Structure 1
């Protein structure tokens, strides 16, 4: 069995503060340790379930958050900036299942801890084939386009609700429940990590319920940006059209192009809209 583990940071156990999400912020180094520990819980479950290979991708920010010196030595780690497939870097059709750890709810989700979609504040909403989409739908769609099912989503309670809306009965682990965007009731990390391990182990030992998210091709990605300047600049990319003053749209039969183009647009948007603030 070959297992892919994508690890974001906002949904990691114990974390609620934007400062904990960025290099140089107060609590960031400890946040990286907690992120790695949550990842290790899923990796340990995968090997205990009989996995032959586990690949872990650092899916937060510039991809330099997971501690390479603390990650389970049996896995391989993909990290670093400018990964073409971002949160899905390293995933291909040879994997049996994908596990999503540290994931968060989409922008605007009620009581979603550090909720956003792809960027802290530049994206108002993202639509995939006309359906509002957060990172869970986007990445599950990418996995599904390769025939790979999602076997676990771990994050805050709002993320788990979103995952079940997108994927049905996918196993979820809520490591915290949002009181507001920056406040939550936390499951202590040691217990949360054991919950991730147990849920992942159960899922990996019983794949009978796994179903890839099958989205119809061609795929259309529409992005409602927070400024007209970002939309105008992104619309200059060949194949990208402007459908409203703040909205750009792109259609492709290749889902990898959808993910890759979103990454390029996000990089451009960050340069145009960057003010040093995070998560609004």
Structure 2
């Protein structure tokens, strides 16, 4: 068995404050430790289940959050900013199953802890072939396009509900329940890590529980931005259409281009928006 693990940070055990997920912020170093512990709970389960290869992608922000000195030494870690496939860098047809750890609900989800889609301030909404899409849908569709099912999603209650909406009866582990965007009822780390590990062990032993989110091409990615300036700047990318004062669309038969373009758009949006922060 070969496993790909994509680890975001907003859905990680114990975290609710944007400062805990931003380099230099109060609590960030502890946040990195908790993120690494969530990842290790899955990695350990994979190797205990007989995995021969586990590739882990640091999928949050600059991609330099997972503690390289604390991550399970048996895995391979993909880290660093501006990875071409961003959250899915390292995933390929070599993989039997993907696991998404520390994921969050899409933008605007009630009681979704740190809810957003791709960018916390600049993006208001994302659609894929006309359906509202968060990062869970986008990453599940990308994996399915490579023939890879999703085995497990961990995050807050809202993220787990979104995962089941997208993937059906996929296994999930909720490590916190949001009362608002920045507040939640938390499962303490020791227990949360046991929950993640036990769920992963069960999932790796039961391939019939793995789920795919197949989307037929052509793929149309739509984004509603928070400003006309960002939309107009993103329109200069070849193939991108301005469909409204603050909306852009792009259509392709290659889902790699969808994921890659989101990365390019977010780079443009970050510069044009001049926010310097991920959350408002």
Common fold: TM-score over 0.5? yes
Distance in 1 (CA, whole Å) between partners of 2:263 and 2:273 is: 15
Give the TM-score taking structure 1 as reference length: 0.99
Aligned twin of 1:155: 155
Distance in 1 (CA, whole Å) between partners of 2:278 and 2:147 is: 34
Decide whether the 8 Å contact of 2:171 with 2:209 is kept in 1: no
Of 58-67 and 200-209, more deviation after overlay is shown by: 200-209
Distance in 1 (CA, whole Å) between partners of 2:211 and 2:99 is: 13
Deviations 1:16-50 (A, max 9, x none): 00100100000000000000000000000111111
Describe the SS at the equivalent of 1:208: helix
1:39 is the counterpart of 2:2: no
Distance in 1 (CA, whole Å) between partners of 2:187 and 2:221 is: 35
1:22 is the counterpart of 2:22: yes
1:194 is the counterpart of 2:194: yes
TM superposition shift of 1:208:
1.1
Distance in 1 (CA, whole Å) between partners of 2:223 and 2:278 is: 19
Deviations 1:145-200 (A, max 9, x none): 00100000000000000000000000000000001100000000111011010111
Describe the SS at the equivalent of 2:158: helix
Aligned twin of 1:204: 204
Give the TM-score taking structure 2 as reference length: 0.99
Of 56-65 and 266-275, more deviation after overlay is shown by: 266-275
Unaligned runs of 5+ in 2: none
Describe the SS at the equivalent of 2:33: helix
> What is the RMSD of the two structures over their aligned residues, measured on CA atoms?
0.7
Describe the SS at the equivalent of 1:102: strand
Report the number of matched residues.
280
1:131 is the counterpart of 2:109: no
Decide whether the 8 Å contact of 2:114 with 2:181 is kept in 1: yes
1:224-243 matches, cutoff 5 A: 224-243=224-243
Distance in 2 (CA, whole Å) between partners of 1:274 and 1:59 is: 22
TM superposition shift of 1:213:
1.3
Aligned twin of 1:64: 64
1:176 is the counterpart of 2:176: yes
1:115 is the counterpart of 2:115: yes
Describe the SS at the equivalent of 2:259: helix
1:96 is the counterpart of 2:64: no
Distance in 2 (CA, whole Å) between partners of 1:277 and 1:129 is: 29
